[in-house]
Structure 1
Amino acid sequence: MGLGDKISNKAEEAAGKAKEKTGDATGNESLQAEGQKDQAGAGIKQAGEHVKDAAKDITGQ
């Protein structure tokens, strides 16, 4: 996983957490759900990058 991808995914995850907490604090269920969705999307991207890294390790590239 490239450093840029790691930073981007972590930033997306952090933004999702902030949205979720803001939604929770304000009682805005839509914003809370959007934050959870953003976090899930970032997690999926991170998992995909981990698979790519593992494949590179196996093939030695």
Structure 2
Amino acid sequence: MSATPRSFPPPGELTWDQSAGRACIWCRRPLTSGAVSVGIIRDQFGAHNLDTEVWAGPCCASTTH
């Protein structure tokens, strides 16, 4: 597959639901069924690891690959 993967928003712009895996990383719709993990946003603050696994719902998952 040669499609360019979508970029993630910066960690500081995520809503609480997006950070917790409860909302789509791109459209912010609540996730119910059919959600897929689309990657990890890497971040840190000093020695603190702030990595966040992000999810997409069926609404946006088909456009990630």
Q: TM-score range by the shorter chain?
A: under 0.3
Task: State the structure with more CA Rg.
Answer: 1
Which structure has greater strand proportion?
2
TM-score (structure 1 length as normaliser): 0.26
TM-score (structure 2 length as normaliser): 0.26
